[in-house]
Structure 1
Amino acid sequence: MGHQPQPHEDPVSFFSVRDTIMKICGACEREMPDGSYSEEQRAQRQSSRRCEECVAAGNELVLMKKGRTRSEADDCPICQSPLPLDKKQSVFKPCCMKRVCKGCLLAARKRGMRDCPFCRTPTPDESQTLAMVRKRVAAGDPVAICVLGTKYFFGKYGLKKDDVTRAAELYERAAKLGVKEAHFNLACLYANGADVEKDMAKALRHYESAATCGHVPARFNLGCKEYKDGKYDLALQHWMISAKLGFDDSLNSVKRLFMAGLATKGDYAAALRGYQKAVEEMPSPDRAEAKELREDPSNRQRN
């Protein structure tokens, strides 16, 4: 049997001491009151239990180590080159749930092909497109679930515009299935709080989930949050990572930190080299021609 209070002991003080017994953090080995641990951590074995500071440090380490490269899902499925970060330079195809760079789209049209350059499906109208997306959603396609959420949010394909509740439900489903774009969309919803209750804690969790999967704008936004909080070293780390993935705004942010004396010349030089390397992997003659056609109205009219 356990210890029983003796007649001369005060039962109240005994149980008070027992309830505030000190525990050892398995990482920093500090003594911490049992009540300072989260419910999840209290369920851990003593040797694997971590205090809040160590949990936060571990999460930060993972955040900075993951998502430093773009995944194969960010490549054009036809030319296999990384897709431009500017989505105006690529087109999403609902028939096959693939994003194709406009260079490959232009190359296909030069050959007289007007259907999808990847799966050869004829270009559908709005009602056919919505039916395609819904069919893929019914089959459990994570990307299709996220896409349908976006269509609800923007009111595309005849759907009611600003149906944020439905969009958020679909984003949540897709996020649980690992779609980084869904995490990013949810983060923006919670951060802005225009159509849902503003919740920065949820926004940060989703930004972090997207960033660890290689979502570049999510990484940039994390840097902005850290900068706003005065954590310039963390902001620099996020912006260095996203600059080396080819994000213009991140490179400019690193430059501003350097000009303000908050980053070194070596930091800016490393960010610039990484940025240039990433950008060099993206262009192609067809992409350059497609971009020129898009930017010149007279060329668009002729084509």
Structure 2
Amino acid sequence: MRDSFRVKPGDPCYGDQQVTAFFENLSQEMCRGMRENVEKKWAAADEEEKKVKAFEKKVMKCDFPKVVTPKPVKEDCGICCHRLPRKLTASAYLPCCGKEICKACWARNASFDAMNLSLFDFMPGSYEEKRVGQQNCPFCRSKVVMVPETKEENAFARDLLRQRVDEGKGRAMFELAKRFQEGDLLPRQEMHEQIDKGTYRIGEAERSGLDEVRAMELYRQAADSGFGEAYFEFARLARQADQHEAYLENIVKAAECGCPEAVEKLADLSFRKGLVSYAIPLYKFTALIGHGSECMKQLETIHEEGFLSSDDLKECREDYELAKKEMFSKEREAMAKVGGYTARDGSIIQCDQFM
């Protein structure tokens, strides 16, 4: 029996040289495929950048209003007590009681390491009946599904969001709208069942619960309640439809509600249009909340051109550094490194959305 599995002369992998050649060829094929995928991704990104620049040229021909941003509200994560970043993707929403926590605490509470989220998780027959993603809320102690694993848990998560929507919570409206727009991911249990049967195909899994009309209604409700990210979503849709006036209108409304991405984009457009006096308070707002890394570079450029005093620049730098310090934690730094990516020049760019 053992001899039947022994490598014999003439087999493709006979001898050290044959084995080495086999794995070298396999490695080259894998590297070639990865390089081709990266090149396609870069080519698509270049094409998208050209479209964005052409669209923004049309936007800058419109009349820009002077936007007054709201006073930033400092909120802390209720678990780690570090300041919450204003960027929406840096926090997680608990629909049971409407609390917001940072993504680092969300990941720790969801117990990712205990949910078999590894390469072995995608091997047939490896699924174990665990409900680690179903826990009690650390605040209200009621049941909350942090990582839905079944259709029933997806439905339960939506029901919780509907309850918060009825209470007029803008974040809940936005989160539920995203679910209707993007649909629910294939539950892990069903994914493993398809893997066991050999029917699972990456990227081809159907999403359930799609309802574009309901999503737009909820986005409108969220926008009317003053949730700026909903206006920013309308701006994104306007750009896709090549509606430059509607894009600017929604970007302005989102910035007036304090959406950091909208404030940053409007500051950039105003500066490029030559409206430096409009751009300065917007850049100051992004510095005050510690958003991104470009605001300080732009403020330094404006200072060098004589539009910003040294005292104002110093104050902005102090506000920016203070905000970054208050948002920093070792867990968030670790997540930022995990979310990093490699630039075209080979440098590692750390993901900034967690801090």
- Range into which the TM-score falls when normalised by the shorter chain: 0.5 to 0.7
Structure-1 separation of matches of 2:77 and 2:249? 28
Corresponding residue for residue 284 of structure 1: 329
Equivalent residues of 2:87, 2:260 under 8 A apart: no
Residue 68 (1) aligns with residue 71 (2) = yes
Residue 95 (1) aligns with residue 73 (2) = no
Corresponding residue for residue 59 of structure 2: none
- Letter matched to residue 70 of structure 2: G
Structure-2 separation of matches of 1:165 and 1:144? 17
Structure-2 change in CA distance of 1:137 and 1:159 (3 Å): farther
Equivalent residues of 2:95, 2:164 under 8 A apart: no
Aligned residues: 229
RMSD: 3.7
Give the share of equivalent positions with the same residue, in percent: 26
Residue 209 (1) aligns with residue 209 (2) = no
Give, in angstroms, the shift of residue 223 of structure 1.
0.8
Q: For residues 138-176 of structure 1, what are the alpha-carbon distances to aligned partners after superposition, in whole Å with 9 as ceiling and x for unaligned?
A: 555433222122223333453466x65543322111111
Give, in angstroms, the shift of residue 87 of structure 1.
4.9
Provide the secondary structure at the position in 1 that maps to 2:138: coil
Matching of residues 188-227 of structure 1 within 5 Å: 188-190=236-238, 192=239, 194-195=240-241, 198-200=243-245, 202-227=246-271
Matching of residues 86-165 of structure 1 within 5 Å: 87=88, 89-105=90-106, 108=109, 115=135, 116-120=137-141, 121-123=143-145, 124=148, 125-138=153-166, 140-157=168-185, 158-159=207-208, 165=213
Matching of residues 221-236 of structure 1 within 5 Å: 221-236=265-280
Structure-2 separation of matches of 1:264 and 1:119? 49
Equivalent residues of 1:106, 1:286 under 8 A apart: no
TM-score, with length taken from structure 2: 0.53
Corresponding residue for residue 32 of structure 1: none
Give, in angstroms, the shift of residue 186 of structure 1.
2.2
Is there any run of 5+ residues in structure 2 with no aligned partner, and where? 1-62, 115-131, 186-206, 342-355
- Letter matched to residue 94 of structure 1: P
Task: Flag the structure with more relative contact order, 1 or 2, with Cα contacts below 8 A and sequence separation at least 6.
Answer: 2
Provide the secondary structure at the position in 2 that maps to 1:67: coil
- Letter matched to residue 138 of structure 2: P
- Letter matched to residue 102 of structure 1: K
Provide the secondary structure at the position in 1 that maps to 2:327: coil
Structure-2 change in CA distance of 1:80 and 1:205 (3 Å): farther
Structure-2 change in CA distance of 1:165 and 1:250 (3 Å): farther
Equivalent residues of 2:87, 2:261 under 8 A apart: no
Structure-2 separation of matches of 1:205 and 1:138? 28
Structure-2 separation of matches of 1:106 and 1:174? 26
Structure-2 change in CA distance of 1:260 and 1:155 (3 Å): farther
Is there any run of 5+ residues in structure 1 with no aligned partner, and where? 1-55, 297-303
Give, in angstroms, the shift of residue 286 of structure 1.
4.5
- Letter matched to residue 96 of structure 2: C
Structure-1 separation of matches of 2:234 and 2:110? 36
Give, in angstroms, the shift of residue 294 of structure 1.
6.3
